[in-house]
């Protein structure tokens, strides 16, 4: 099976190179036959990459420990679900998984555009295949996932225990899908630059792909935060780790693009800016891949040090050189027809929104690479920790949430004072009221008071828009209010789906602010029968239970919880010891409500005395982070689902292209 997998990779590399050359020559000569050769090569590339993935997965499931990758990332006692996750749990497998996902995206693009965008497709195919072939070349020439050992170990080393968690089975695939699918808008952007067709056609063709990649980047970041929260046992979910930052930056620039592209469609402005954002988003995904696989940063999220870093840097340099060269070449065709008329307009709000998003991304980028640069230049690594990121990004986040309330509602071109009062009177009043209530309630922290006030303003602005739109349909068409609301959303899914996403983001923002500022913590050693108190809760340590399987040893403490003399049940934090890698882990116990999470960690256990050290955190409103993520998921789904009007426009455009051809 390993020979089949290796042969598939070699053939995939060969047809990838063939497809790139045929597509490029076909695009330059406008030769449809050569372009068709390139597309057929892309189909072969997709199939061969799928065969390679199937071969490696089979080797994992068969526990063929003669294969180095299988021996390094699995064991005979590893549960099947985690054995499958081992496919992307190691560096070699993750590169193959990346290429496989890109091959899948390529296949979908070929199917979607078999009868349209024919001028773009040679360049799109060439760009997609170039990226996929680069990853395959690493597997063929540098780091072979099918490498066999000179001997066969009796047992594998097992998957890293920190990865043996539900969230890690869905976090990497989600994040990889987000990273990989950014290649599609980038490919169409390159095609638009290469052909000189720089209208809105390439944007319409990639609108849902951009939403798709943004959606999976969002999921990947949220799932990663959930993994850090339940696995690492530190009571938090985000530490501004370099790899976390690498996953967050392309989401920020993708978010900026989704907003600014509306200005191009409505006002024919920001063409250069939008092209820059598409290039930057793709470049940041390659940069993030470099960070996790080069060993230049230390992170619990990164792979072991390897020699792949220079290859990624060279590829990134080539991507930026070609992209910027094409962009400079086409600058005369990218001039905007209109100009910004007023700072009190939707265009200005969206532009400021973009600048803040890119500003946050730049801050994160600089804070991430500065330790590396300082080590290269001075030989001393200067650590840039969470205080830097929090201090710089907190005010930017406040401004961003404020603009979330302003941007979608303020008038195009120029807003008058009367229209501003009409649009924002209710929401501004609600925001001020919540701020005053927070002050009276003793919130104490100025940033928290301002944050809750602005969050209320943004939330109320969106809710008022829903209410006003549904009220008009109810009055004019006589529809019941729920029916009017659902049809209002259905008539303009992109707009109102975006509003739903904003509601979810406000929820996430509130959860982050509350859990960061009002978090409580205590650490205490207890004997069985002793208690500790935190935030009105009483936690009583009742003892431990031990367990043993072929895979893991575990010790679980029983901790009874009560409040105001009322029993609330028990939680069971654990210490585990995984036998194959001989590595201990901590399994936290969480009692979660809409108001707060009681987060209990068994830090250590003394066998002789039965004493245990517990670390307990009280995280207010953190559940709203995950609820907000669910709401954002719903909103993204609404945006991606085409309305009847959109399908009619697309069908008309496709028909016109076929007639023109």
pLDDT band at 7 (very low <50, low <70, confident <90, very high): very high
Is 493 within a domain? no
**pLDDT > 80? residue 301:** no
The per-residue pLDDT for 344 is 75
Is 349 within a domain? no
SS3 25: helix
Q: Give 249's contacts (C-beta < 8 A, 6+ positions apart).
A: 284, 287, 288, 361, 364, 365
Q: At what angle do helices 166-181 and 183-195 cross, to 10 degrees?
A: 0
The per-residue pLDDT for 350 is 86
C-alpha–C-alpha distance, residues 243 and 454, integer Å: 30
Cα-Cα-Cα-Cα dihedral of 577, 579, 583, 587, to 10°? -30
Provide the token pair at 649: 């426009």
C-alpha–C-alpha distance, residues 516 and 12, integer Å: 48
**pLDDT > 80? residue 620:** yes
The per-residue pLDDT for 661 is 44
The per-residue pLDDT for 64 is 94
Provide the token pair at 170: 């869905």
2-11, 280-289, 312-321, 634-643: which range is least confident on average?
634-643
Provide the token pair at 130: 């170039």
Q: Give 141's contacts (C-beta < 8 A, 6+ positions apart).
A: none
DSSP letter for 557, please.
E
**Model pLDDT for residues 407-445, shown as the tens digit of each residue:** 877 777 776 777 777 778 888 999 999 999 988 887 778
Is 387 within a domain? no
Whether this model's pTM surpasses 0.75: yes
Provide the token pair at 220: 């990947």
**Model pLDDT for residues 186-209, shown as the tens digit of each residue:** 999 999 999 999 888 889 889 899
Is 317 within a domain? no
* Element (DSSP H or E) covering residue 345: none
pLDDT band at 659 (very low <50, low <70, confident <90, very high): very low
The per-residue pLDDT for 494 is 86
C-alpha–C-alpha distance, residues 213 and 230, integer Å: 26
pLDDT band at 381 (very low <50, low <70, confident <90, very high): low
Residue 641's region, left for phi above 0, alpha for psi from -120 to 50, else beta, is beta
Q: In the listed set 591, 607, 623, which residue is the last one of a domain according to the structure?
A: 623
Q: Are 69 and 146 in contact (CB under 8 A)?
A: yes
The per-residue pLDDT for 658 is 47
Domain count, the chain: 2
Rg, the chain, Cα only: 27
Provide the token pair at 218: 């969002």
Tokens 């760009």, located at residue:
127
Q: Give 382's contacts (C-beta < 8 A, 6+ positions apart).
A: 370, 371, 374
Of 89 and 661, more confident: 89
Q: Give 478's contacts (C-beta < 8 A, 6+ positions apart).
A: none
* Element (DSSP H or E) covering residue 543: strand 537-548
Q: In the listed set 113, 131, 159, which residue is the last one of a domain according to the structure?
A: 159
Q: At what angle do helices 309-329 and 271-294 cross, to 10 degrees?
A: 170
CA 488 to chain centre: 29
The per-residue pLDDT for 646 is 55
pLDDT band at 364 (very low <50, low <70, confident <90, very high): very high
Tokens 């920790």, located at residue:
385
The per-residue pLDDT for 656 is 47
The per-residue pLDDT for 660 is 45
Residue 563's region, left for phi above 0, alpha for psi from -120 to 50, else beta, is beta
C-alpha–C-alpha distance, residues 299 and 159, integer Å: 17
The per-residue pLDDT for 306 is 62
SS3 593: coil
Which of 569, 589, 587, 585 minimizes the C-alpha distance to 577? 585
Task: From residue 517, give the alpha-carbon distance in Å to each of 77, 254, 390, 513, 521.
Answer: 43, 29, 12, 6, 12
Is 312 within a domain? no
pLDDT band at 103 (very low <50, low <70, confident <90, very high): very high
Q: Are 603 and 614 in contact (CB under 8 A)?
A: yes
C-alpha–C-alpha distance, residues 261 and 277, integer Å: 10
The per-residue pLDDT for 372 is 77
The per-residue pLDDT for 641 is 83
Range 243-253 average pLDDT: 93
Range 374-384 average pLDDT: 73
- Structural domain including 11 reads 1-159
Q: In the listed set 138, 159, 180, which residue is the last one of a domain according to the structure?
A: 159
559 has which bridge partners? 541, 571
**Model pLDDT for residues 339-357, shown as the tens digit of each residue:** 766 777 778 888 899 999 9
Q: Are 302 and 241 in contact (CB under 8 A)?
A: no
Range 465-480 average pLDDT: 86
Range 56-68 average pLDDT: 95
Q: Using CB atoms within 10 Å of the CB of residue 650, give its burial: 0 to 12 exposed, 13 to 18 middle, 19+ buried.
A: middle
pLDDT band at 647 (very low <50, low <70, confident <90, very high): low
C-alpha distance across the termini of the chain, in Å: 46
């Amino acid at each position: 099976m390993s020979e089949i997998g290796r042969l598939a990779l070699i053939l995939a590399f060969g047809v990838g190179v063939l497809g790139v050359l045929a597509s490029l020559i076909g695009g330059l000569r406008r030769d449809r036959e050569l372009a068709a050769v390139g597309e057929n090569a892309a189909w072969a590339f997709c199939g061969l990459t799928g065969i390679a993935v199937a071969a490696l997965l089979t080797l994992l499931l068969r526990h063929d420990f003669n294969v180095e990758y299988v021996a390094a990332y699995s064991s005979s006692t590893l549960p099947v679900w985690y054995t499958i996750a081992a496919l992307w749990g190691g560096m070699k497998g993750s590169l193959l998984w990346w290429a496989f996902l890109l091959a899948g995206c390529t296949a979908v693009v070929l199917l979607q555009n078999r009868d349209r965008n024919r001028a773009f497709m040679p360049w799109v195919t060439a760009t997609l295949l170039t990226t996929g072939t680069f990853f395959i070349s690493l597997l063929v020439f540098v780091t072979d996932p099918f490498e066999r050992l000179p001997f066969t170990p009796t047992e594998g080393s097992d998957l890293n225990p920190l990865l043996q968690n539900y969230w890690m089975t869905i976090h990497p695939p989600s994040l990889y899908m987000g990273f990989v699918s950014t290649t599609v808008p980038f490919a169409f952007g390159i095609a638009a630059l290469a052909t000189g067709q720089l209208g809105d056609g390439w944007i319409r063709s990639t609108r849902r792909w951009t939403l798709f990649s943004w959606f999976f980047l969002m999921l990947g970041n949220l799932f990663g935060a959930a993994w850090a929260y339940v696995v690492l046992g530190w009571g938090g979910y985000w530490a501004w780790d370099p790899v976390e930052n690498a996953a967050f930056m392309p989401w920020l620039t993708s978010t900026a693009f989704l907003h600014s592209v509306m200005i191009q469609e409505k006002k024919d402005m920001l063409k250069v800016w939008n092209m820059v954002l598409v290039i930057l988003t793709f470049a940041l995904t390659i940069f993030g891949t470099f960070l996790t696989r080069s060993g230049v940063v230390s992170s619990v999220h990164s792979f072991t040090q390897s020699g792949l870093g220079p290859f990624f840097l060279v590829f990134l340099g080539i991507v930026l050189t070609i992209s910027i060269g094409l962009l400079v070449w086409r600058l005369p065709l990218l001039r905007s027809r209109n100009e910004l008329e007023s700072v009190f307009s939707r265009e200005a709000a969206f532009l400021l929104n973009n600048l803040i998003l890119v500003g946050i991304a730049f801050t994160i980028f600089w804070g991430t690479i500065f330790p590396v640069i300082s080590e290269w230049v001075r030989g001393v690594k200067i650590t840039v920790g969470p205080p830097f990121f929090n201090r710089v990004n907190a005010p930017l986040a406040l401004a961003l949430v404020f603009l979330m309330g302003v941007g979608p509602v303020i008038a195009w071109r120029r807003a008058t004072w009367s229209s501003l009062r009409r649009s924002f009177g209710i929401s501004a009043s609600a925001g001020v009221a919540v701020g005053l209530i927070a002050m009276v309630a003793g919130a104490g922290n100025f940033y928290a008071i301002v944050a809750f006030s602005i969050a209320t303003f943004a939330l109320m602005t969106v809710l008022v828009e829903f209410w006003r739109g549904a009220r008009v349909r109810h009055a004019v068409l006589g529809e019941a209010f729920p029916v009017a609301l659902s049809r209002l959303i259905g008539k303009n899914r992109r707009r109102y789906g975006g509003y739903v996403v904003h509601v979810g983001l406000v929820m996430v923002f509130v959860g982050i602010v509350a859990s960061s500022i009002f978090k409580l913590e205590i650490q205490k050693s207890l004997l069985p029968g002793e208690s500790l108190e935190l935030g009105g809760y009483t936690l009583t340590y009742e003892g431990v239970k031990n367990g043993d399987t072929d895979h893991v040893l575990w010790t679980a403490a029983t901790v009874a919880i009560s409040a105001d003399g009322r029993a609330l049940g028990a939680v069971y934090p654990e210490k585990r010891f995984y036998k194959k890698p001989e590595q201990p882990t901590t399994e936290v116990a969480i009692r979660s409500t809409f108001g707060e999470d009681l987060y209990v960690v068994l830090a250590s256990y003394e066998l002789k005395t039965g004493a245990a050290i517990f670390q307990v955190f009280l995280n207010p409103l953190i559940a709203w982070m995950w609820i907000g993520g669910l709401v954002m998921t719903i909103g993204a789904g609404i945006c991606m689902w085409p309305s009847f009007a959109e399908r009619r426009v697309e069908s008309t455009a496709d028909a016109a292209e076929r007639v023109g051809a």
